Amino acid sequence: MKKVFLIIAILSISIWSQEMRKNANYSLFSDQKATRVGDAITIIVVESSIATNNAETKSGRQTDMSLNFSGSLKGTPIPGGDASVGNGNDFKGSGSTKTSGVIQTKISATIDSVLANGNLLISGSKKIVINDEEQLISIRGIVRTSDVRSDNSVLSYNISNAEITFEGSGIVSGAQTPGLLTRFFRFLF
């Protein structure tokens, strides 16, 4: 009986060591992190942006020129004269822009390729349809393997060259788009 148990243990260790050679990233003591092409990774999108721009211009210019003469010559009065020239220029302009946006979601993505330095090129998208209103969130970028957490997630602000798009279509989006006549008149004027 001891011999059978010993043979089974040796075979089990042999099969286990062969499997470990196939997957060099496997460890008995830690979770397996996504590091290979095709591995799934969760992106936690936590993005907020606020931009404000104010501009105000005020300029003015004033030019006055005046000529006045009068007098007499040996008791004879000389006709007097006045001349005046004035010029004024005044300009005021102002403008203001303010935008803000917040996106919070989780998107499952896959590793498209592993770069020469070990960084991961990832991409993923998520489509949500509620009451004929469609929203598509896409993300693409480069992640360092050290930024991948133990649960195979990465925060969106750790993605370099990140391209995050948030698009919507449906009834609400259509109501926010100007009609054909409005767009035609805007084009003309």
**What is the Cα–Cα distance from 14 to 98, expressed in whole angstroms?**
65
Percent of the chain at pLDDT > 90 equals 10
* Residue 160 identity (one-letter amino acid): S
Question: According to the per-residue pLDDT averaged within each range, which of 3-7, 94-98, 108-112 is highest?
Answer: 108-112
**Position 28 confidence tier, pLDDT thresholds 50, 70, 90:** low
**Position 141 confidence tier, pLDDT thresholds 50, 70, 90:** very high
pLDDT at 149: 87
**Position 122 confidence tier, pLDDT thresholds 50, 70, 90:** very high
pLDDT at 143: 93
Q: Which residues, 6+ apart, have CB-to-CB distance to 73 below 8 Å?
A: none
175 has pLDDT over 70: no
**Position 19 confidence tier, pLDDT thresholds 50, 70, 90:** low
What would the pLDDT profile of 87-98 be if each residue is shown by its tens digit?
667 777 777 777
pLDDT at 168: 77
pLDDT at 170: 67
